[in-house]
Structure formats: structure tokens, C-alpha cells
Amino acid sequence: MFMHIIEEINKLCKGTFIENLGIEFTHAGEGFVEAKMIIDETKLQPFGFLHGGASLALAETVASGGSLLLIDRNKYAAFGLQVSGNHIATMGKGTLFARAEIVHKGRSTHVWDVKMESDEKTLISVVRVTMSIIAKKATDRS
């Protein structure tokens, strides 16, 4: 069931900022979702290390994907409300893996804890993401 939804979310991301960053959703289960992002020169700061904004974008994206798994996507949309992260280590190349786990599932907010690791299993960042769950209006296109 979850793999079908992961494929659906990856299709939804085509042609967006998420695709431009190379973020791909990989796994999901009860209360968690995972994604990855290849780290190349387009995600680095001038000194050759991962830009903190790129890792925060991954964190918000994976939490958004998690919220999409928990809501009726025909009636509701999920938007990042707050992103707060701590960068523990850095990396200059490889793959950054993110795992978001739900901390709070309310009617109007979801809170996610996101841990990001390098392909060498080094903890890169820990991020808390609060998602706002908003009812769609009849005029919304998605």
C-alpha cells in the first residue's frame, strides 16, 4: 500500500522545486516516511560543503510527504509552518538520507522529527517540522 503512495508522491513532485533538488521518496510505513537527495555541487555552499538550506528543504519535503500519507489529499493540503534544525556535521558529496517520524498528528497540525544521515551513516542534521493542514477550497487546482 505505501509503495503505491510513494510512487504517487514522486509523480506529484515532477517539475517542481523538489525534483530540481533531486529529492526522491523511497520508503514509508506506519508513522514514518523516508527520502534521499544526491549531494552534488548544486547543493553546496562556496566552501564545498552541504548548504544548510538544502538539508532544511529536504526535511520539510519529507515531512510534507509524511503528512500527505495521513490526510485525505482530495480535501486537505499540507504546508510547512515551521522548520527548525540543527546541523551536526557536514558533507561534500554522496547521498543524504532523511527519515521523518510523526510526533503529533492533530486535525490542523502535524509535527515531525526528521533525522538526516550521510551514506556513511554520519548524523548530518536533526530537524523538527510543523505542518499546517488546511482544507482545500473548491477553487484550488490540486
Residues annotated catalytic, as ranges: 60
Task: Return d(Cα 40, Cα 29) in angstroms, integer.
Answer: 29
Cβ–Cβ under 8 Å, residues 117 and 100: no
CA 133 to chain centre: 15
Which grid coordinates belong to 76? 486537505
